[in-house]
Each structure stands twice: as structure tokens, then as C-alpha cells.
Amino acid sequence: MTANILIVEAPYYPQIADELAKGTIAALEDAGAQYERLEVPGALEIPIAIAMASETHSYDGYIALGCVVRGETSHYDIVAGESARALMGLGTERGLAIGNGILTVDTGEQAMARARVSEKNKGGDAARACLGLISVRQKFGRPAVPQT
């Protein structure tokens, strides 16, 4: 599949972000997709950046990468819930193909197990989800990148 993908990453936890990106990039390269990477400060900024990028009509799909680790306050619930809600809204309301690779975990160890390519490889899963949604959209006759 020839697709142009934007990977939007929040590298708040650099080791986890690097591992997620490694899995994502490997899956995209295996599929023959092209990609660009964009860093944002945190998980809440990921959907905002995707919304902005979608207005350019330059990308077939998007991959959200980040990690939210539960802390001692309710901030975790807000960041985890609102980032997921915003990504889902972009998908359902705008028809964007988005692979959600934002990990929501209790500990750093859980995050690494999910990010590590040799274990759960959630970055690769997010890439495959994005590519799958692009295929679904094409099946229904919608162009991957809207014509302007």
C-alpha cells in the first residue's frame, strides 16, 4: 500500500516513545508506506496537531504515539480520557484514519512491555490499525486524501 502517514509523537517518556516509534516505523516500512514525524509536548496536544495537519489534505492517515502513566492525581484520567475521546472524534466525525498508540498504564514497566517491539509492540499495532482504516475508507470509495 502506498500511503503517506503522519506520526504525531509526544516524547514525554523518551525511552517509551523511541520504542513505540521503532515498532511503528517498522510496520509502515513493511507495508511500503511513506511517513513523516511530528513531535508535540504531550498526549493532549496529539489530537490537536492531527486536526491541524488534516486541514492540509496531505496525509492518508495518522498515528498517535505517547504514554500516560497513572500518578497520584486525577490528571491521568483527564489526559487519558480526553486524548482518546478527541482521537475518536476525529475518526468518527471527519473520517480520519488514525491508529491510536497512546499507552495508558499504571507503571513505567507496563509501558515498556507494551511499547517494546519484542513484546506487545503497540507502535506496530497502531500503524497496522491506521493502514487498515485507510483500506476500509478506500473500500467505500472515498479517496485517501480528499481532493481539493
**Fold observed for domain 4-139:** Rossmann fold (3.40.50)
Mean pLDDT, range 40-56, rounded to an integer = 97
Domain segments of the chain: what residues? 4-139
What does the pLDDT read at residue 146? 53
Residue 147 predicted with pLDDT over 50: no
Output the pLDDT for position 13: 96
| pLDDT tens-place string over residues 19-41 | 999 999 999 999 999 999 999 99
Q: What is the mean pLDDT of the chain?
A: 94
pLDDT at 115: 98
Report d(CA 148, CA 114) in Å as an integer.
39
Q: What is the mean pLDDT of residues 105-114?
A: 96
Say whether pLDDT at 84 is over 50: yes
75 is catalytic: yes
CA atoms 3, 101, 123, 51: torsion sign: positive
Marked catalytic residue, from 34, 36, 39, 75? 75
CA dihedral of 49, 82, 145, 126, whole degrees rounded to 10: 100
